[in-house]
Each structure stands twice: as C-alpha cells, then as structure tokens.
Amino acid sequence: MTVEPGWLGRFFEDFEVGALYRHPLGRTISETDNTWFTLLTMNTNQLHFNAEYAKGSEFGGLLVVSTLTLAIAVGQSVTDLTQNAVANLGWTDIRMTHPVHVGDTLFSESIVTELRPSGSRPHSGIVTVKTRSLNQHGDEVCSFLRTFLVHRRDSPELAHPFPTAAAPLAVEGR
C-alpha cells in the first residue's frame, strides 16, 4: 500500500516575489456568523445585528462586521500562505473598500511583495503579501498587507505527527 502525502503547505523557499495565490475556498457569510461575531467581539453597533435599524441606514440592511471580513480573508489564505507559519508579525494598510452584507460570498487572493531570511531564526524567513477579498460580483471589499514568519523546509521545529494505527486501513477484499 502506498501512503500519499497530504498537503503540508508552503515553506519559505517556496515563495517568490510576484507569485499570486487565488485561495481556493469561497465563504458565504450568514446572519448567524455576523451575529455571533458581534457577540464574541462585543461589537454593539446596531448596523450589524438590528435589521430594522440597519434598514434605515444608507446601506439599507445589515452590514457584516469589518473585522469578520478581515478574519475570513486571513483564514482563506492559511492553506496557501501560513500553514507553516511560526507567527504573524503584522498587518498594515487595512482598507475596507466596499460594504459587505449578510449573504455575500467572499473570495481572497494574495500576491507576495517581499521576502527576506530571518536574521534571528536561521530556520525561518519573513514573507510579506498583499491580500484582497472580492465579493461574488467581483467588487473588492477589503485589502491589507500582512507579514509573517514562516519555517524553512529544513526547520527542526517542524513536526507532522500522525499516530500509528492499531490496525491498518485497507480496501475490503485486498
């Protein structure tokens, strides 16, 4: 039996300035998502959870909390960018460029803008990307720069433990 390796993410050596990653998973934001996020973050602006109040606003309905939009964009990028990250180092130039409404579906993409080896951690490097999110109509809803520290492929700190099963997994009859 052949064990096929799963996706382990990118390492510092895998990044190139100018590389564009279109993150594969879109995410539709529900009213429940938005309400829970307002509760978890103690955001009391009624534009996010009071439909009657929001109807009377210039937006005509509930708005998704901007920090939820940002969190989804970052989350969408993890598979491509930070599966092997040591730490996020910062976010800058955060722009909320278009309102996001309950029911919108967000898609995100990132382009690598800068790379450098870490001076203090020889088994890691620093990557900066510009990420933007689009709604289902192609409108950019947010953008930001993000810098993170990511392992090199030879990092001794990497561990991908998978337990040894008591009984092997097999196709019946083989």
Q: pLDDT band at residue 57, thresholds of 50, 70 and 90?
A: very high
Q: What is the mean pLDDT of residues 142-148?
A: 98
H or E stretch at 20: strand 20-22
Joined together, the tokens standing for residue 108 give 């995100």
Q: Which CATH superfamily is domain 12-28+68-151 in?
A: Hotdog Thioesterase (3.10.129.10)
Using one digit for the tens of pLDDT, what is the confidence trace for 65-123?
Answer: 999 999 999 999 999 999 999 999 999 999 999 999 999 999 999 999 999 999 999 99
CA-atom Rg of the chain in angstroms:
20
Q: Are 142 and 66 in contact (CB under 8 A)?
A: yes
Burial of 69 from C-beta contacts in 10 A (0-12 / 13-18 / 19+): buried
Global pTM value: 0.88
Q: Which helix H or strand E contains 124, and what residues bound it?
A: strand 124-134
> What's the confidence (pLDDT) of residue 158?
82
pLDDT of residue 8: 84
Using the predicted structure, report yes or no on whether residue 173 has a pLDDT greater than 80. Answer: no
pLDDT tens, 147-165?
Answer: 999 999 988 888 777 788 8
- Look at residue 28 and give its three-state secondary structure: strand
Q: How far is CA 33 from CA 4, 30, 39, 134, 151, in A?
A: 35, 5, 10, 18, 32
Task: Please give the residue that has the higher pLDDT: either 173 or 18.
Answer: 18
pLDDT for the residue numbered 7: 81
Is residue 54 pLDDT above 70, yes or no?
yes
Tokens found for residue 25: 């998973």
CB of 72 closer than 8 Å to CB of 27: yes
- % of the chain exceeding 90 in pLDDT: 82
Nearest to 104 by CA among 69, 71, 53: 69
> Is pLDDT above 70 for 174?
no
Helices vs strands, H then E, count in the chain? 3, 6
Residue 24, pLDDT > 90, answer yes
pLDDT computed for residue 164 by the predictor:
84
